[in-house]
Amino acid sequence: MNTSFDLLFEIGWRFASLSLLAIGGINALLPEFHRVVVDVEGWMTSAEFADLFALAQLAPGPNAMVVSLLGWKVAGIPGAFVATIAACGPSSLVSYFAMRALERMRKGALRVVLQRALAPVAIGLVLASGYTLAKAADRSIGALALTVCGAAAIAATRVNPIWVLAAAALAGVAGIA
Amino acid sequence: MLVEERAWLTDREFAELIGMCQVLPGPNVVNLSVMLGARWQGPVGSLLALTGILFVPVIAVLILATFYASVAHTPIAGSAIAGASAAAAGLIIGTAIRLTIGSRPPMRSLLLAAAVFLAVGVAQAPLLWVLAVAVPLAIAVEWRASQ
- Provide the ipTM: 0.89
Mean pLDDT of all residues in A60-85: 93
Picking from B64, B92, B105, the nearest residue to A130 by CB comes out as: B92
A-B C-beta contacts closer than 8 Å: 347
pLDDT at residue B7, rounded to an integer: 63
pLDDT band at A110 (very low <50, low <70, confident <90, very high): confident
pLDDT at residue B25, rounded to an integer: 86
pLDDT at residue A150, rounded to an integer: 95
Mean pLDDT of all residues in A33-58: 94
pLDDT band at A107 (very low <50, low <70, confident <90, very high): low
CA dist A150 and B96 (Å) reads 12
SS3 B25: strand
pLDDT at residue A98, rounded to an integer: 82
pLDDT at residue A30, rounded to an integer: 94
- What are the pLDDT digits (tens) for A149-170? 999 999 999 899 999 999 999 9
* Among B125, B143, B60, CA closest to A55: B60
Q: Do A165 and B88 touch (CB under 8 A)?
A: yes
pLDDT band at B29 (very low <50, low <70, confident <90, very high): confident
Residue, of B21 and A19, whose pLDDT is higher = A19
**CB-CB neighbors (< 8 A) of A87 in chain B:** 27
CA of A139, closest CA in chain B: separation in Å?
9
Which amino acid would we find at residue B124?
A: Q
Q: Do A22 and B76 touch (CB under 8 A)?
A: no
Angle at A84 between CA A82 and CA A85, to 5 degrees: 65
Which amino acid would we find at residue A10?
A: E
Interchain contact A51–B (C-beta under 8 A): yes
Considering only alpha carbons, which residue of chain B is nearest residue A116? B142
Q: Do B126 and A20 touch (CB under 8 A)?
A: no
pLDDT at A74 over 90: yes
Considering only alpha carbons, which residue of chain A is nearest residue B64? A59
pTM, two decimals, is: 0.90
pLDDT band at A146 (very low <50, low <70, confident <90, very high): very high
**CB-CB neighbors (< 8 A) of A168 in chain B:** 83-84, 86-88
pLDDT at residue A4, rounded to an integer: 84
Picking from A56, A84, A177, the nearest residue to B54 by CB comes out as: A84
pLDDT at A2 over 60: no
pLDDT at residue A105, rounded to an integer: 67
- What are the pLDDT digits (tens) for A47-56? 999 999 999 9
pLDDT at residue A51, rounded to an integer: 93
Mean pLDDT of all residues in A3-25: 90
Q: Do A128 and B117 touch (CB under 8 A)?
A: yes
pLDDT at B1 over 70: no
Angle at A105 between CA A101 and CA A108, to 5 degrees: 160
pLDDT at residue A3, rounded to an integer: 55
Considering only alpha carbons, which residue of chain A is nearest residue B114? A124
* Among B86, B97, B15, CA closest to A165: B86
- What are the pLDDT digits (tens) for B103-140? 788 999 999 999 999 999 999 999 999 999 999 999 99
pLDDT at residue A153, rounded to an integer: 95
- What are the pLDDT digits (tens) for B78-111? 999 999 999 999 999 999 999 898 878 899 999 9
Q: Do A118 and B23 touch (CB under 8 A)?
A: yes
Would you put residue B6 in left (φ > 0), alpha (ψ -120 to 50) or beta? Answer: alpha
Q: Do A61 and B22 touch (CB under 8 A)?
A: no
Residue B49 CB partners (closer than 8 Å, separation 6+)? B33, B34, B36, B37
CA of B64, closest CA in chain A: separation in Å?
7
3-state secondary structure string across B28-96:
HHHHHHHHHHHHHHHHHHHHHHHHHHHHHHHHHHHHHHHHHHHHCCCHHHHHHHHHHHHHHHHHHHHHH
Neighbours of A89 (CB within 10 A): 17
End-to-end distance of chain A based on CA atoms, in angstroms?
A: 30
Mind giving me the DSSP string for A22-64?
Answer: -BTSGGGGHHHHHIIIIIIS--S-HHHHHHHHHHHHHSSS-TT
pLDDT at residue A63, rounded to an integer: 83
Q: Do A177 and B79 touch (CB under 8 A)?
A: yes
pLDDT at B3 over 90: no
